[in-house]
Protein backbone atom coordinates (compact mmCIF):
# COMPACT_ATOMS: atom_id res chain seq x y z
CA UNK A 1 0.00 0.00 0.00
CA UNK A 2 2.85 2.33 0.85
CA UNK A 3 4.59 1.40 -2.37
CA UNK A 4 1.48 2.24 -4.37
CA UNK A 5 1.25 5.62 -2.67
CA UNK A 6 4.95 6.26 -3.40
CA UNK A 7 4.43 5.37 -7.02
CA UNK A 8 1.43 7.69 -7.27
CA UNK A 9 3.39 10.49 -5.58
CA UNK A 10 6.37 10.05 -7.90
CA UNK A 11 4.06 10.18 -10.89
CA UNK A 12 2.57 13.44 -9.61
CA UNK A 13 6.04 14.92 -9.12
CA UNK A 14 7.02 13.91 -12.66
CA UNK A 15 3.90 15.52 -14.03
CA UNK A 16 4.58 18.73 -12.13
CA UNK A 17 8.23 18.83 -13.21
CA UNK A 18 7.30 18.19 -16.83
CA UNK A 19 4.64 20.91 -16.70
CA UNK A 20 7.10 23.35 -15.13
CA UNK A 21 9.68 22.55 -17.83
CA UNK A 22 7.09 23.10 -20.54
CA UNK A 23 6.06 26.40 -18.96
CA UNK A 24 9.70 27.44 -18.75
CA UNK A 25 10.26 26.50 -22.37
CA UNK A 26 7.17 28.52 -23.30
CA UNK A 27 8.50 31.48 -21.34
CA UNK A 28 11.87 31.12 -23.00
CA UNK A 29 10.15 31.10 -26.37
CA UNK A 30 8.13 34.24 -25.54
CA UNK A 31 10.95 36.29 -24.01
CA UNK A 32 13.10 36.76 -27.13
CA UNK A 33 10.15 38.14 -29.03
CA UNK A 34 9.14 40.56 -26.27
CA UNK A 35 12.74 41.66 -25.76
CA UNK A 36 13.05 42.33 -29.47
CA UNK A 37 9.88 44.41 -29.40
CA UNK A 38 11.18 46.37 -26.45
CA UNK A 39 14.46 47.03 -28.24
CA UNK A 40 12.65 48.16 -31.37
CA UNK A 41 10.41 50.52 -29.40
CA UNK A 42 13.45 51.95 -27.61
CA UNK A 43 15.23 52.41 -30.95
CA UNK A 44 12.21 54.16 -32.48
CA UNK A 45 11.90 56.46 -29.50
CA UNK A 46 15.62 57.35 -29.63
CA UNK A 47 15.34 57.94 -33.39
CA UNK A 48 12.40 60.31 -33.00
CA UNK A 49 14.02 62.05 -30.05
CA UNK A 50 17.32 62.61 -31.87
CA UNK A 51 15.55 63.80 -35.03
CA UNK A 52 14.19 66.75 -33.09
CA UNK A 53 17.75 68.14 -32.91
CA UNK A 54 18.32 68.74 -36.66
CA UNK A 55 14.68 69.80 -36.98
CA UNK A 56 15.13 72.43 -34.28
CA UNK A 57 18.34 73.72 -35.87
CA UNK A 58 16.59 73.95 -39.23
CA UNK A 59 13.70 75.91 -37.70
CA UNK A 60 16.19 78.33 -36.10
CA UNK A 61 17.85 78.85 -39.49
CA UNK A 62 14.49 79.67 -41.11
CA UNK A 63 13.74 82.08 -38.26
CA UNK A 64 17.10 83.82 -38.76
CA UNK A 65 16.29 84.32 -42.45
CA UNK A 66 13.09 86.09 -41.42
CA UNK A 67 14.93 88.20 -38.83
CA UNK A 68 17.59 89.18 -41.40
CA UNK A 69 14.96 90.33 -43.90
CA UNK A 70 13.28 92.38 -41.18
CA UNK A 71 16.63 93.97 -40.22
CA UNK A 72 17.48 94.79 -43.85
CA UNK A 73 14.09 96.46 -44.29
CA UNK A 74 14.68 98.47 -41.10
CA UNK A 75 18.11 99.65 -42.29
CA UNK A 76 16.67 100.61 -45.66
CA UNK A 77 13.86 102.62 -44.04
CA UNK A 78 16.31 104.45 -41.76
CA UNK A 79 18.57 105.32 -44.68
CA UNK A 80 15.56 106.63 -46.59
CA UNK A 81 14.63 108.66 -43.51
CA UNK A 82 18.09 110.28 -43.52
CA UNK A 83 17.50 111.47 -47.10
CA UNK A 84 14.37 113.40 -46.10
CA UNK A 85 14.34 117.19 -46.13
CA UNK A 86 15.01 118.68 -42.68
CA UNK A 87 11.92 119.81 -40.81
CA UNK A 88 11.66 122.17 -37.85
CA UNK A 89 12.20 120.57 -34.47
CA UNK A 90 8.92 120.65 -32.50
CA UNK A 91 9.01 122.97 -29.50
CA UNK A 92 6.54 121.16 -27.24
CA UNK A 93 7.00 117.40 -27.28
CA UNK A 94 4.60 115.49 -25.05
CA UNK A 95 6.27 112.06 -24.99
CA UNK A 96 9.97 112.56 -25.63
CA UNK A 97 10.96 108.87 -25.59
CA UNK A 98 8.31 107.96 -28.16
CA UNK A 99 9.26 110.96 -30.30
CA UNK A 100 12.94 109.95 -30.35
CA UNK A 101 12.19 106.29 -31.10
CA UNK A 102 9.84 107.16 -33.95
CA UNK A 103 12.08 109.86 -35.49
CA UNK A 104 15.62 108.61 -34.94
CA UNK A 105 17.93 109.41 -37.91
CA UNK A 106 15.42 111.95 -39.19
CA UNK A 107 16.95 115.40 -39.95
CA UNK A 108 15.63 118.41 -38.05
CA UNK A 109 16.40 122.10 -38.50
CA UNK A 110 17.13 124.36 -35.50
CA UNK A 111 18.12 127.99 -34.99
CA UNK A 112 20.01 129.43 -32.03
CA UNK A 113 23.48 129.82 -30.57
CA UNK A 114 26.11 127.60 -28.96
CA UNK A 115 27.14 127.59 -25.32
CA UNK A 116 30.82 127.07 -26.11
CA UNK A 117 31.91 127.23 -22.47
CA UNK A 118 30.02 124.00 -21.71
CA UNK A 119 31.12 121.84 -24.61
CA UNK A 120 32.49 118.35 -23.93
CA UNK A 121 34.40 115.68 -25.87
CA UNK A 122 32.97 112.23 -26.58
CA UNK A 123 35.94 109.86 -27.00
CA UNK A 124 37.43 107.72 -28.44
CA UNK A 125 35.96 108.10 -31.94
CA UNK A 126 37.04 107.91 -35.55
CA UNK A 127 36.09 110.10 -38.49
CA UNK A 128 33.40 108.23 -40.46
CA UNK A 129 33.98 110.57 -43.44
CA UNK A 130 37.60 109.28 -43.63
CA UNK A 131 39.02 112.80 -43.87
CA UNK A 132 41.24 112.02 -40.88
CA UNK A 133 42.91 108.72 -40.02
CA UNK A 134 43.74 109.82 -36.49
CA UNK A 135 41.69 108.80 -33.46
CA UNK A 136 39.82 111.62 -31.81
CA UNK A 137 36.43 112.57 -30.46
CA UNK A 138 33.14 114.33 -31.08
CA UNK A 139 32.60 117.90 -29.91
CA UNK A 140 29.26 117.99 -28.06
CA UNK A 141 28.01 121.52 -27.44
CA UNK A 142 24.80 122.74 -25.74
CA UNK A 143 22.65 124.78 -28.14
CA UNK A 144 20.08 127.38 -27.06
CA UNK A 145 17.03 127.43 -29.33
CA UNK A 146 15.92 130.87 -30.50
CA UNK A 147 12.28 129.78 -30.72
CA UNK A 148 12.25 128.92 -27.01
CA UNK A 149 14.83 130.62 -24.79
CA UNK A 150 14.21 128.11 -22.00
CA UNK A 151 15.06 125.06 -24.12
CA UNK A 152 18.64 123.90 -24.63
CA UNK A 153 19.52 120.79 -26.63
CA UNK A 154 22.75 118.94 -27.44
CA UNK A 155 24.54 119.24 -30.78
CA UNK A 156 27.31 116.95 -31.99
CA UNK A 157 29.28 119.47 -34.02
CA UNK A 158 31.53 116.79 -35.48
CA UNK A 159 34.90 115.07 -35.26
CA UNK A 160 38.23 116.52 -34.16
CA UNK A 161 41.52 114.53 -33.97
CA UNK A 162 43.24 114.10 -30.61
CA UNK A 163 45.70 116.83 -31.65
CA UNK A 164 42.82 119.35 -31.28
CA UNK A 165 41.62 118.23 -27.86
CA UNK A 166 43.00 121.25 -26.01
CA UNK A 167 40.68 124.16 -25.30
CA UNK A 168 42.97 126.57 -27.17
CA UNK A 169 42.80 124.39 -30.30
CA UNK A 170 39.02 123.96 -30.11
CA UNK A 171 38.45 127.67 -29.47
CA UNK A 172 39.29 128.33 -33.13
CA UNK A 173 36.07 126.55 -34.11
CA UNK A 174 33.80 128.41 -31.68
CA UNK A 175 30.82 130.27 -33.13
CA UNK A 176 29.42 133.07 -31.02
CA UNK A 177 26.68 134.45 -33.27
CA UNK A 178 23.27 132.96 -33.99
CA UNK A 179 23.24 130.17 -36.57
CA UNK A 180 20.78 127.87 -38.30
CA UNK A 181 21.76 124.26 -38.84
CA UNK A 182 20.35 120.79 -39.38
CA UNK A 183 21.12 117.52 -37.66
CA UNK A 184 19.99 113.92 -37.39
CA UNK A 185 18.04 113.02 -34.26
CA UNK A 186 19.84 110.34 -32.26
CA UNK A 187 18.88 108.12 -29.32
CA UNK A 188 21.03 106.58 -26.58
CA UNK A 189 24.07 104.65 -27.70
CA UNK A 190 23.91 100.87 -27.14
CA UNK A 191 26.13 99.78 -24.26
CA UNK A 192 28.20 96.62 -24.04
CA UNK A 193 30.48 95.04 -21.45
CA UNK A 194 33.57 96.49 -23.16
CA UNK A 195 32.23 100.05 -23.17
CA UNK A 196 33.99 102.57 -20.98
CA UNK A 197 31.67 104.28 -18.53
CA UNK A 198 31.22 108.03 -18.44
CA UNK A 199 32.96 109.89 -15.63
CA UNK A 200 31.37 113.35 -15.46
CA UNK A 201 32.16 116.11 -15.73
CA UNK A 202 35.28 115.69 -17.88
CA UNK A 203 35.35 112.12 -19.23
CA UNK A 204 32.70 111.00 -21.71
CA UNK A 205 32.66 107.81 -23.78
CA UNK A 206 29.02 106.84 -24.33
CA UNK A 207 26.13 108.85 -25.76
CA UNK A 208 23.85 108.67 -22.73
CA UNK A 209 21.25 111.40 -23.22
CA UNK A 210 19.91 111.40 -19.67
CA UNK A 211 23.34 111.54 -18.07
CA UNK A 212 24.67 114.19 -20.45
CA UNK A 213 21.59 116.40 -20.25
CA UNK A 214 21.59 116.31 -16.44
CA UNK A 215 25.26 117.26 -16.27
CA UNK A 216 25.04 120.06 -18.86
CA UNK A 217 21.57 121.35 -17.94
CA UNK A 218 19.90 120.61 -21.29
CA UNK A 219 16.96 118.71 -22.71
CA UNK A 220 17.70 115.03 -23.56
CA UNK A 221 17.56 115.83 -27.27
CA UNK A 222 20.67 115.10 -29.34
CA UNK A 223 21.32 116.10 -32.97
CA UNK A 224 24.25 114.98 -35.11
CA UNK A 225 25.05 118.09 -37.12
CA UNK A 226 25.20 117.69 -40.90
CA UNK A 227 27.46 119.78 -43.11
CA UNK A 228 26.22 123.37 -42.81
CA UNK A 229 26.54 126.18 -45.32
CA UNK A 230 28.51 129.23 -44.30
CA UNK A 231 29.92 127.60 -41.13
CA UNK A 232 33.45 126.35 -40.43
CA UNK A 233 34.22 122.90 -41.86
CA UNK A 234 35.79 121.89 -38.55
CA UNK A 235 34.90 120.03 -36.45
CA UNK A 236 34.10 117.64 -39.32
CA UNK A 237 30.29 117.22 -39.28
CA UNK A 238 28.03 114.47 -40.68
CA UNK A 239 29.32 111.75 -38.34
CA UNK A 240 26.16 109.69 -38.69
CA UNK A 241 25.84 106.13 -39.91
CA UNK A 242 22.92 103.78 -39.52
CA UNK A 243 24.07 101.72 -36.56
CA UNK A 244 21.85 98.64 -36.58
CA UNK A 245 23.49 95.34 -35.68
CA UNK A 246 22.89 92.73 -38.38
CA UNK A 247 24.74 89.44 -37.72
CA UNK A 248 21.91 87.22 -38.90
CA UNK A 249 23.75 85.91 -41.98
CA UNK A 250 26.39 84.22 -39.82
CA UNK A 251 23.62 82.79 -37.62
CA UNK A 252 21.90 81.39 -40.73
CA UNK A 253 25.04 79.48 -41.78
CA UNK A 254 25.57 78.31 -38.20
CA UNK A 255 22.07 76.90 -37.66
CA UNK A 256 21.77 75.30 -41.10
CA UNK A 257 25.26 73.83 -40.75
CA UNK A 258 24.37 72.28 -37.40
CA UNK A 259 21.09 71.01 -38.85
CA UNK A 260 22.87 69.33 -41.77
CA UNK A 261 25.60 67.73 -39.64
CA UNK A 262 23.19 66.35 -37.02
CA UNK A 263 20.90 65.11 -39.81
CA UNK A 264 23.75 63.02 -41.24
CA UNK A 265 24.46 61.67 -37.76
CA UNK A 266 20.80 60.67 -37.51
CA UNK A 267 21.00 58.93 -40.89
CA UNK A 268 24.12 57.02 -39.88
CA UNK A 269 22.98 55.74 -36.50
CA UNK A 270 19.21 55.57 -36.83
CA UNK A 271 18.10 55.50 -40.45
CA UNK A 272 20.88 53.01 -41.44
CA UNK A 273 21.28 54.66 -44.83
CA UNK A 274 24.91 55.74 -44.56
CA UNK A 275 27.14 52.77 -43.58
Distance CA 105, CA 83 (A): 9
Distance CA 272, CA 266 (A): 9
What H or E segment, with its residue span, contains residue 121? Answer: strand 120-125
pLDDT in tens, 242-261: 888 888 889 999 999 999 99
Assign 5 a pLDDT band (cuts: 50, 70, 90). very low
What's the CA gap between 86 and 227, in Å, rounded? 13
**pLDDT of 119-172, one tens digit each?**
999 999 999 988 889 999 999 999 999 977 789 999 999 999 999 999 888 888
Half-sphere exposure of 245 (CA within 13 A, CB side): 7
Helices (H), ranges, 83-151: 96-103
Strands 222-225 and 152-161: parallel
pLDDT digits (tens, 9 = 90+) for 42-84: 657 777 888 899 999 999 999 999 999 999 999 999 999 999 9
pTM higher than 0.85 for the full model? Answer: no
pLDDT digits (tens, 9 = 90+) for 186-215: 999 988 777 788 999 989 999 999 999 999
- Let me know: does 117 contact 193? Beta carbons within 8 Å: no
pLDDT tens figures, 101-129: 999 999 999 999 999 999 999 999 999 98
Amino acid sequence: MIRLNNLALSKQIRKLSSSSKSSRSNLNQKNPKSDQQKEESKGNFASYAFFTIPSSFFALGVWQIKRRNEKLNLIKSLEERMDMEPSSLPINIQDLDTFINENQYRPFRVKGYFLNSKEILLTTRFDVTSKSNLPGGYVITPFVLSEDTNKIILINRGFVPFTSFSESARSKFHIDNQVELAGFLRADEPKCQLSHLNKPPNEWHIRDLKEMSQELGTEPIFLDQVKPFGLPSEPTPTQTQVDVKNDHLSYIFTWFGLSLSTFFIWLKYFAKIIP
